[in-house]
Amino acid sequence: MLLTVMTKAQEKLIIQGGNPLKGEVAVGGAKNAVLKLMAAALLCEDVSVIRNVPELSDVEIMLDVLKELGAKVTYNKEEKFLTIDATNLTSVRASDAFVSRMRASFVVLGPLVGRMKEAYVALPGGCQIGERRVNFHIKGLQALGCECKLDNGYVHAKATRLVGDDICFDIPSVGATENIMMASVLAEGTTRIQNAAQEPEIVDLANFLVAMGANIEGAGTSEIIVKGVKQSDLHGVEYATIPDRIEAGTFMSAILASRGKGIIRNVYPNHLTIFTGKLLEMGAKIRLVEPNAMEVSADRRLDAMNFITQPYPGFPTDLQALAMTLLSTANGVSVVTESLYENRFMHISELWRMGANIRQSKNHAIIKGVETLVGTTVQSTDLRAGAALVVAAIMAKGESEIKKLHHIDRGYEKFTQKLQGLGVNVQRVPYDVKDYETLDNNEVVHSK
């Protein structure tokens, strides 16, 4: 049975590729930071303001989560700021209706346990790029004194009191580090999180919490120390989100893919050190024109290179698909190893359709660069794969169509307009009749 329900998600991009990009583009606030700041605002019995908030579907989902918990929220999209009044929370239940759609919303678990001493949060969802492990979150909360159990797709955590402890993760986990850091803000005594994630978004969250009145040291290193404070010590805060390093890497890739030249503004270069280093290894030209602006260019075919995705400060998994797309037309043979997510090579089959020569062996991809890609119809399989296919279409000869844009909308604000500002010939249009010939029940995504 075919469904023909039209939603915003059922739109497609049409891109005419093969033209060098030029111009300037400004990066927005970091998706992976702002969602956690929104959750952290639940800790405080006061009003907080978050600035530099990107207009994304993931932000809308997190707003729904906060409202469900009883927070009063106002989102000024024009001026890009959120006001969150968490003075009186009315629920500790974050339902499957929202959390299953976006894994980042699972981080309400930590602040709810910290403040309310109880949380009932659905297991995380989002892009299907691999297993969503919650054992680190649960073990960390148990160490703080929580009783945790899985109940029909929910994590139910409850404690009479939280007491700081030493918690060591087997491997660095961004989500678990964030949840335990937030939960321990109001715990008695000192909590040491060892083998903690070190991402810039972790640092941003810690800075937000410190501005709110928390006592946190070591964020950005492998050991984070949280000294518990009282509820009365916390107060509302006004805070600006850091720029999105993955969006910056996406536009860097797009410019290089077209052998163009452009300036990327509102970027923190030190957040992209290893990615920039790999691009330079390939033959890209990158220079700092201002403290927060980079000029990126390429005037020839890039060279092959190898990389392995690793937790920060290693090569980011969120830029793996974009780098692989660049390597698909590089001079020579490259090897990409994905060490973090078992399903993060789903874009390979779409790149094949565009003429890429890629062979997959378990978590390794061997890429033999071709002269050029050829435009065709493809569909995004997850957020970053979708962005990578846009870059592939920009570098390809001819016209490409990219479907399933709801993935891309999760993490890229005004993506079409920003690409057009760099000279990309791109339009976002509704599906036409022939698109529904292959759209079955499983592919329809219903909007809110």
Catalytic residues: 127
Please give the Cα distance from 45 to 68 (Å, whole number).
16
Sign of the CA dihedral with 431 first, then 436, 439, and 445 last:
positive
Helices (runs of H) and strands (runs of E) counted in the chain: 14, 24
Query: Is the distance from CB of 20 to CB of 259 less than 8 angstroms?
Result: yes
Query: Is the distance from CB of 301 to CB of 330 less than 8 angstroms?
Result: yes
Residue 71 structure tokens:
């927070």
Please give the Cα distance from 413 to 238 (Å, whole number).
22
Please give the Cα distance from 14 to 426 (Å, whole number).
6
Query: Is the distance from CB of 217 to CB of 225 less than 8 angstroms?
Result: yes
DSSP 8-state secondary structure symbol assigned to residue 353: H
DSSP, residue by residue, 244-298? -HHHHHHHHHHHHHTT-EEEEES--GGGGHHHHHHHHHHT-EEEEEETTEEEEE-
Q: Residue 114 class from Cβ within 10 Å (0-12 exposed, 13-18 middle, 19+ buried)? A: buried
> At a CB cut-off of 8 Å and minimum separation 6, what does 203 contact?
219, 220
DSSP, residue by residue, 418-448? HHHHTT-EEEEEE--GGGGGG-BGGG-----
Please give the Cα distance from 392 to 303 (Å, whole number).
17
Sign of the CA dihedral with 10 first, then 125, 107, and 320 last:
negative
Sign of the CA dihedral with 24 first, then 79, 8, and 448 last:
positive
Strand partners for 215: 227
Which of 307, 254, 245 is closest to 278 using CA atoms? 307
Q: How big is the CA angle at 410 (ends 328 and 115), to the nearest 5 degrees?
A: 130
**Polymer length in residues for the chain:** 448
